[in-house]
């Protein structure tokens, strides 16, 4: 995109760990609305676990393929006002990402084709007059998002920074070892469904297909679990391995809470294997 003709955006999306019990979300949206009154604001999620950058990164990355080309404001910042620099990133499809440089934005820019250019947020002329160190979302990041939505110059925000200097969430690799797959929990949703960092193709590479019963090893337990198209394919209260709505493999209990039943949460290892009697199929 030409630096002399900056695109104007009709949408700002907003993801945070602010919750919905306080005024923080509304205040940030109000700042954007004051500075860019033409903008529509789309709330992605504000129930990210407090200061859980990796959950925020995974959630934004899962959502962003379904969002418009927009300014994407994301705020999950354990560092608050200290050493985490603020950044703005333009992706190759002209999406804008605004937030702290702690890895929160990194999976999302991968989904949007990668980084086209990036800058550090350093220009106080764009911020609110008084900046409180514990509420940069209101005083720094929201005004910068509004500046971009208004078509303001990208590098008015601050100096260019190289893409390879940006903080990234490590992409967890899946290991397919003959007839079993080593994975890990990437996300636990509101219903207790446990999404893993693998796709159906990873299971197929280990010879596992829909309809098979697999051996699940997690949290010191070994269980026989069916691999089904959806959790509705098993009786109520039964655990199954299936695909989630974003085409990742997940563990779910029909009308139950898989995370509580298995006592596992994000980041924990999981091994899925063909049962011995299926090895000759």
What CA–CA distance (Å, rounded) separates 52 from 19?
13
In the CATH scheme, what architecture does the domain 175-278 have?
A: Beta Barrel (2.40)
Rounded CA-CA distance 121/147 in Å is: 12
Reduced to 3 states (helix: H, G, I; strand: E, B; else coil), residue 150 is coil
Q: Is the pLDDT of residue 270 over 70?
A: yes
- Name the DSSP class of 80: T
- What pLDDT shows up at residue 6? 82
Determine contact, residues 142/127, Cβ cutoff 8 Å: no
The full set of domain ranges for the chain reads 11-165, 175-278
Decide: helix, strand or coil at residue 33.
helix
* DSSP codes, 252-270: EETTS-HHHHHT--TT-EE
Q: Spell out the residues 6+ positions from residue 29 whose beta carbon is closer than 8 angstroms to its own.
A: 14, 41, 142
- pLDDT value of residue 3: 45
Query: Which three-class secondary structure state does DSSP give residue 199?
Result: coil
Instruction: List the structure tokens of 185.
Output: 């929990």
Give tens-digit pLDDT for 165-223.
999 998 878 989 888 999 999 999 999 999 999 999 999 999 999 999 999 999 999 99
- Residue 229's contacts (CB-CB under 8 Å, 6 or more residues apart) are 210, 242, 243
Neighbours of 65 (CB within 10 A): 10
pTM of the model: 0.90
Q: What pLDDT, on a 0 to 100 scale, did the predictor assign at position 173?
A: 81
Q: CB of 184 within 8 A of CB of 197?
A: yes
> 260 or 281, which is more confident?
260
pLDDT digits (tens, 9 = 90+) for 103-162: 999 999 999 999 999 999 999 999 999 999 899 999 999 999 999 999 999 999 999 999
User: In the predicted model, is pLDDT for residue 33 greater than 60?
Assistant: yes
CATH class for the domain made up of 11-165: alpha beta
User: In this predicted structure, what is the pLDDT of residue 227?
Assistant: 97
At 114 the pLDDT is 98
The pLDDT assigned to 80 comes to 59
CB atoms within 10 A of CB 276: 9
Asked if 90 contacts 151 with a C-beta cutoff of 8 angstroms, the reply is: no
Q: What is the mean pLDDT of the chain?
A: 94
Does 164 score more than 80 pLDDT?
Answer: yes
Whether 279 shows a pLDDT value over 80: the answer reads: no
Q: Tell me, what's the pLDDT at 178?
A: 82
Identify whether the C-beta of residue 54 lies closer than 8 Å to the C-beta of residue 61.
no
């Amino acid at each position: 995109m030409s630096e002399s003709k900056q695109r104007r955006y009709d949408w700002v999306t907003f993801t945070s760990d602010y919750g919905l019990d306080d005024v923080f979300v509304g205040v940030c949206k109000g700042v954007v609305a004051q500075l860019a009154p033409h903008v529509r604001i789309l709330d992605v999620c504000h129930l990210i676990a407090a200061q859980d950058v990796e959950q925020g990164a995974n959630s934004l990355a899962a959502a962003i393929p379904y969002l418009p080309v927009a300014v994407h404001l994301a705020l999950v910042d354990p560092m608050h006002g200290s050493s985490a620099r603020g950044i703005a990133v333009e992706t190759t499809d002209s999406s804008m990402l605004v937030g702290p440089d702690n890895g929160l934005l990194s999976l999302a820019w991968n989904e949007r084709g990668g980084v086209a250019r990036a800058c550090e947020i350093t220009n106080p002329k764009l911020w609110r007059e008084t900046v409180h160190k514990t509420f940069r979302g209101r005083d720094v990041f929201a005004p910068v998002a509004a500046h971009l939505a208004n078509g303001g110059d990208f590098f008015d925000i601050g100096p260019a920074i190289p893409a390879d200097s940006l903080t990234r969430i490590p992409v967890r690799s899946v290991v397919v070892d003959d007839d079993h797959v080593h994975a890990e929990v990437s996300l636990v949703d509101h219903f207790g469904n446990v999404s893993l960092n693998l796709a159906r193709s990873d299971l197929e590479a280990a010879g596992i297909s829909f309809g098979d019963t697999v051996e699940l090893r997690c949290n010191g337990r070994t269980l026989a679990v069916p691999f089904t198209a959806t959790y509705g394919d098993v009786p109520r209260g039964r655990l199954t391995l299936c695909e989630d709505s974003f085409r990742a493999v997940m563990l779910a209990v029909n009308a139950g809470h898989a995370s509580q039943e298995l006592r596992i949460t994000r980041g924990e290892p999981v091994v899925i294997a063909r049962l011995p009697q299926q090895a000759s199929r």
